[in-house]
Each structure stands twice: as structure tokens, then as C-alpha cells.
């Protein structure tokens, strides 16, 4: 057997070494941008690693070949030992702190709170072990049903805790924070490795939480690509058109795609005074129900070529009291960020924005 395999040994070793080292080098470059590790990331190189470790030096005919083969077999072992040390001592490679979040919730929450998490795994494992007193479950956020879920499950409770994982795509439009601030108040935020926890006060029992899924019609066309055909907005309390300084105004906008586009658009919502002063602004990607950006919206699919998006506009405590215009601007997410002109009865005189109405900031 050794005599048969030895002539091909250098080529075989070179192939296995390349199979192992090239993907590892590429992964190392990726780690410079986003330090993260999961065992499954190494599936591609595992066969090469095991084959290198399994080739005994006896397969070589000469002492020189034996030394080379033994060195190559030892190299992955040395690398693994060095990596194992870094894995347990370098904070850069520490896992997301699911256990820490669960332990904090177990100490902070009460039986009359409610906890929603935007990813089920592996948080659920620690949540069960920590005996969190508040009802705790994974929430898949559907903008059309989120308010109904809160009415059904959070009614009469004291606080809502919203746990988000850094890599989650469950609620990119921010529906839960929107409803939390529209009907309550954000009480705090705490950062954990890989997680963020926001918590909100909940309204008194009997309050009906609403997200206008069919907002009142408006007519504003942005260029020839999007139509803003529905808008609802208010202040604090939620159904008012007034709000005190230091609170947040809210808006729900419905957009419909008019033609295919290769541009990913963002919406800028602004509160502007009669003197032109801007007191609040929020800019967000325009997303549909699949959380696609606009370049991926299919024109011929009614379920995905239109969408609701929600917005909160915090008003600074020193904002002058008075009436303010609520304006919407649609612009490209890529530099130099060109905006689309606005046409229709809601267009501003300069056609740079759609004027949706007025809100009054109280002293």
C-alpha cells in the first residue's frame, strides 16, 4: 500500500492542504469585517482536515516524506489549539449573550408583564431554564395583525419587553416599537452582546391598540415610480393632532409601486414649522411585507407591490410650540441621494415633498 500511494502523495497532500487553507484564509478575511463563528462555517474544510489528520507517516517511503507528512498532520492540531484558546478568551469571538438576557428578564420582569422575542433559538432554551415570571414567547411580526395580538395578549398588563437579536429580520419596519410608543412610553433600553431589550409601559385596561391598516386616502405621486395613496398620523394621545414637547408624533403611510425600478428608495418624514424650521425628521427604507427593498418589489404581485410603513417622529423638549407641517420625501438610498418630484393635490409648492397635514406642538 505505501509503495502504491507514495508517487501520488505530494499531489494529494497539496490538494488537501489547498482544500483546507484556501477557505480558511477567505473566512479569516470575512472575520475582519464581522467577527462571528459557528461550527457549521467549517463544514467545507472538515473532510480535508480529517483526511490530513488520518494520513499516517507510514504512507511515505522516505524519512523526509515522513517528516513532511507528520508536520502537515500536526499543523491543523496546533492551529486548533491556538484557536481554542482564542475562542474562550477573546471577547471578539464570544457568543451572543442569550443566557444573560434571560437571567436579566428573570430578575426584572413580573407576572403582569409580557416578553416578546424576535428569534426563538437559542433564547428559548435559556428562557425555560431561568423561569422568567412574565409570559415569554417568540413573536413573528405581521404589520396587519400586530395590534390585534397586543390587544389579545398584552391587555391589562403593566409592561411590554421587546427583545431583538442583531441578525433578525422579524421587524425591520419597527412595528412593535411604533405601537409601544404610540400607546405607551418607552421606559428603558438595555444592550447585551448580540441582543437589545426595549421595554414600554402599556395603556390602561380597555384601551384598544390600533394600527391603521387601511389609512385614509391621499394622492401624491413621486416621480412616475410610487404613489402615496394612504396616510394616517397623530400625536399624543394617539388619536389627537396635538402633542406636548418631548413626545413623539406618529404616522402610517401606504405606498404603491407604479413601475419596475432598480432604485432602493427611502422615505424621509419631517415636521416643519411655518417659518421653515425643521424640528423632527426620520429616514427609513421603504419595505414591503416580505421586507424587500423597492428594487425587489414585483410590479405584478398585489401582495408585494404595495406596503404600509410606520414612523415615529420624536419632538425635542425645546421645540417651539405651534403648528407644523408633516412632510414626506422619497429619495434614492444611494449617493448623491436624489429625490423624486411630487405631483398631485398633496404636493408642496416646490414639488419637493408631499404635505400630509398639520400637527400642533403644545407648550
> Residue range 16-40: average pLDDT?
81
* Average pLDDT in the chain: 90
Q: How far apart are CA 112 and CA 157, in angstroms?
A: 5
Query: Mind listing the pLDDT tens digit for each residue in 128-153?
Result: 899 999 999 999 999 999 999 999 99
Q: Do domains 98-201 and 217-362 have the same CATH topology?
A: no
Q: What percent of the chain has pLDDT over 90?
A: 69
217-362: which CATH number, 2.60.40.1180, 3.30.450.20, 2.70.50.60, 2.40.50.140?
A: 2.70.50.60
- The pLDDT value given to residue 4: 47
pTM of the model: 0.80
Least confident of 88-102, 108-122, 248-262: 88-102
Give me the pLDDT at residue 7, please. 62
The answer to whether 244 touches 228, Cβ cutoff 8 Å, is no
- Strand-by-strand arrangement of the 322-332 sheet: 242-244, 354-362, 322-332, 265-273, 278-285
- pLDDT range class, residue 86, cuts 50, 70, 90: confident
pLDDT score, position 78: 82
CATH of region 98-201: 3.40.190
Q: pLDDT tens-digit profile of 29-62?
A: 887 877 666 677 778 888 887 887 776 565 666 7
Q: What is the pLDDT of residues 274-289, one digit of tens each?
A: 999 999 999 999 999 9
Q: Sorting pLDDT into bands at 50, 70 and 90, what band is 1?
A: very low
Half-sphere exposure of 280 (CA within 13 A, CB side): 25
User: In the chain, which residue ranges form alpha helices assigned H by DSSP?
Assistant: 2-5, 9-33, 46-54, 63-89, 98-108, 123-130, 146-153, 175-183
pLDDT higher than threshold 90 for residue 233: yes
Domain ranges, ordered by start, for the chain: 2-93, 98-201, 217-362
Amino acid at each position: 500500500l505505501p509503495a502504491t500511494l507514495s508517487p501520488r502523495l505530494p499531489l494529494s497532500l497539496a490538494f488537501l492542504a489547498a482544500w483546507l487553507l484556501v477557505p480558511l484564509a477567505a473566512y479569516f478575511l470575512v472575520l475582519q469585517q464581522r467577527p462571528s463563528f459557528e461550527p457549521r462555517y467549517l463544514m467545507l474544510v472538515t473532510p480535508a482536515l480529517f483526511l490530513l489528520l488520518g494520513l499516517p507517516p507510514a504512507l511515505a517511503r522516505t524519512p523526509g516524506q515522513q517528516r513532511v507528512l507528520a508536520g502537515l498532520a500536526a499543523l491543523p492540531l496546533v492551529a486548533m489549539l491556538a484557536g481554542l484558546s482564542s475562542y474562550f478568551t477573546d471577547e471578539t469571538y464570544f457568543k451572543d449573550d442569550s443566557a444573560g438576557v434571560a437571567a436579566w428578564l428573570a430578575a426584572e420582569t413580573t407576572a403582569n408583564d409580557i416578553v416578546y422575542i424576535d428569534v426563538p433559538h437559542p433564547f428559548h432554551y435559556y428562557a425555560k431554564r431561568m423561569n422568567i415570571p412574565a409570559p415569554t414567547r417568540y413573536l413573528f411580526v405581521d404589520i396587519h395583525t400586530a395590534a390585534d395580538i397586543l390587544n389579545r395578549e398584552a391587555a391589562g398588563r403593566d409592561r411590554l419587553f421587546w427583545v431583538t437579536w442583531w441578525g433578525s429580520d422579524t421587524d425591520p419596519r419597527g412595528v412593535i416599537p411604533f405601537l409601544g410608543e404610540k400607546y405607551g412610553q418607552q421606559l428603558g433600553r438595555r444592550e447585551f452582546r448580540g441582543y437589545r431589550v426595549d421595554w414600554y409601559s402599556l395603556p390602561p385596561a380597555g384601551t384598544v391598540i390600533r394600527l391603521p391598516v387601511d389609512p385614509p386616502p391621499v394622492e401624491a405621486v413621486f416621480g412616475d415610480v410610487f404613489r402615496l395613496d394612504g396616510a394616517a398620523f397623530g400625536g399624543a394621545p394617539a388619536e389627537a393632532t396635538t402633542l406636548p414637547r418631548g413626545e413623539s408624533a406618529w404616522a402610517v403611510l401606504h405606498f404603491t409601486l407604479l413601475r419596475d425600478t432598480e432604485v432602493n428608495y427611502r422615505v424621509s418624514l419631517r415636521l416643519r414649522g411655518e417659518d421653515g424650521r425643521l424640528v423632527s425628521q426620520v429616514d427609513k427604507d421603504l419595505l414591503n411585507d416580505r421586507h424587500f427593498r423597492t428594487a425587489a418589489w414585483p410590479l405584478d404581485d398585489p401582495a408585494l407591490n404595495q406596503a404600509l410603513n410606520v414612523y415615529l417622529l420624536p419632538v425635542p423638549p425645546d421645540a417651539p410650540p405651534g403648528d407644523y407641517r408633516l412632510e414626506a420625501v422619497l429619495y434614492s438610498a444611494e449617493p448623491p441621494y436624489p429625490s423624486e418630484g411630487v405631483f398631485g393635490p398633496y404636493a408642496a409648492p416646490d414639488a419637493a415633498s408631499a404635505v400630509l397635514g398639520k400637527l400642533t406642538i403644545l407648550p
